[in-house]
Amino acid sequence: MAVADTALELAPSFSYWNMVWTRFRKHKLAMFGTIVVLFMILVCFVGAPVYTALSGIDYSSQNLKDRYAFPSAQHWFGTDDLGRDVLVRILYGGQISIEVGLIAALAAIVLGSLIGVIAGYIGGWVDEALMRFTDVMMSLPYLPLYLVLAMAFTPGFWTLIFIFIAFGWMGDARLVRGVVLSLKNMEFVEAARAVGASPWRIMGTHLLLNSMAVIIVSTTLAVGGNIVGEASLSYLGLGIQPPMPSWGNILQNAAEFMFAPRNGPWLIFYPGFFLFLTVLSFNFMGDGLRDALDPRLKNAN
């Protein structure tokens, strides 16, 4: 009895999420990424509206007397070809970029997990059909199709999200199917079936919850990918349309005037740096989460 008590004292009960947090905290780059992401969300979604409320300057406020201004105390990152404050535009653009990234990643993971769990659990011809479809979708040349899709529908916020969902779920479906295949013959699933749980309950609570590690990591990494995708399409003029700023179309605008005599290189550096830093941070977070949620995945790439 006394021995058992000591053992309990020596090993205080850690919940799974407790351990995840302990491991995550040790991952320096992931912590850096988390802080940067939180900072970006704060300055873009809170800082920008507050600044607009105080100064009356928003992303479309022009000042043609003050075009191509050098970075100064008043305009930290200078002004662009229409005398718009670049920092304010970057912050408002960040709202759009982060929103597209998050919404599309979440929706794609929902769709992908659904397909993956159904394919993996039901198996048979359903699995065969769904996986063949996934293979076909994966073999499509996605960037050319992005272009055509963005042209066929009016380019904009929801079109972008639709495109990233349509081409973003396949990897998730495969990952979740893989996890489900490895879990579905385990005792706890058998037990659930034995007590009469419906297939939907088994899929929804038992299998999906146990795929959470894979799902969370994949979503985090997808956010970064979507943000780059949004920026690339907006840069090509097929994404977010002006005057609504996004990191992509701010860069497109800056690149258009790149060789203008008074144009400064910072007009291209700053928006891209925000973009790069945000994407990098989401990727660091994803890497840290992979190590923290499931240490076995560490070198699985």
Partner 1 sequence: MGTFIVRRFLQMIPILILISLLTFLLMRLAGPDPAEYMIMLNPRIKPADILAEKIRLGLVSPDGKPLPLISQYLNWLGNLVKGDWGWSRIWPNQTAFGAIMLFLPNSLILMGLALLLSIIVAVPIGIYSALKQYSGFDYTFTTLSFMGMSLPTFWLALMSIIIFHLIPYRVFGFPLFPAGDIVSFGKPFAWQWYDRLWHLALPVLVLAITHMAAWTRYMRSSLLEVIRADYVRTARAKGLPESKVINKHALRNALIPMVTILTLSIPGLFGGALITETVFAYPGVGRMLYQAVIGKDYAVAMADILFLALITIIFNLVADILYAVVDPRIRVS
* Cα radius of gyration (the chain): 24
Q: Is 79 strand, coil or helix?
A: strand
DSSP class of residue 244?
S
Tell me which residue of 170, 146, 142, 140 sits closest to 160, measured CA to CA: 146
Report the distance separating Cα 209 and Cα 201, nearest Å.
Answer: 11
* H-state helical runs in the chain: 2-10, 16-26, 28-42, 48-55, 86-122, 124-138, 142-152, 157-166, 170-183, 187-194, 199-201, 208-210, 212-235, 247-256, 266-293
Paired residues of 85 in beta bridges: 79
From the CB of 132, what's the least distance to partner 1, in Å?
9
Nearer to partner 1, 169 or 235 (CB): 235
Nearer to partner 1, 15 or 301 (CB): 301
Q: Which structure tokens are listed for 98?
A: 């982060």
Report the distance separating Cα 109 and Cα 100, nearest Å.
Answer: 14
Angle between helices 124-138 and 86-122 (to 10 degrees): 150
Nearer to partner 1, 13 or 299 (CB): 299
From the CB of 282, what's the least distance to partner 1, in Å?
8
Nearer to partner 1, 287 or 294 (CB): 287
Cβ neighbour number for residue 13 with a 10 Å cutoff = 6
Nearer to partner 1, 76 or 133 (CB): 133
From the CB of 256, what's the least distance to partner 1, in Å?
11
Nearer to partner 1, 51 or 146 (CB): 146
Nearer to partner 1, 86 or 117 (CB): 86
From the CB of 141, what's the least distance to partner 1, in Å?
4
From the CB of 246, what's the least distance to partner 1, in Å?
12
Place of tokens 């407790």: 18
From the CB of 277, what's the least distance to partner 1, in Å?
9
State how far Cα 209 lies from the chain centre: 20
Q: Which residues bind partner 1 (CB under 8 A)?
A: 29, 136, 139-145, 147-149, 151-153, 224, 228, 231-232, 235-237, 251, 254-255, 258-259, 265, 268-269, 272, 275-276, 279-280, 283-284, 287, 299, 301
Report the distance separating Cα 194 and Cα 188, nearest Å.
Answer: 10
Place of tokens 């993996």: 120
From the CB of 81, what's the least distance to partner 1, in Å?
16
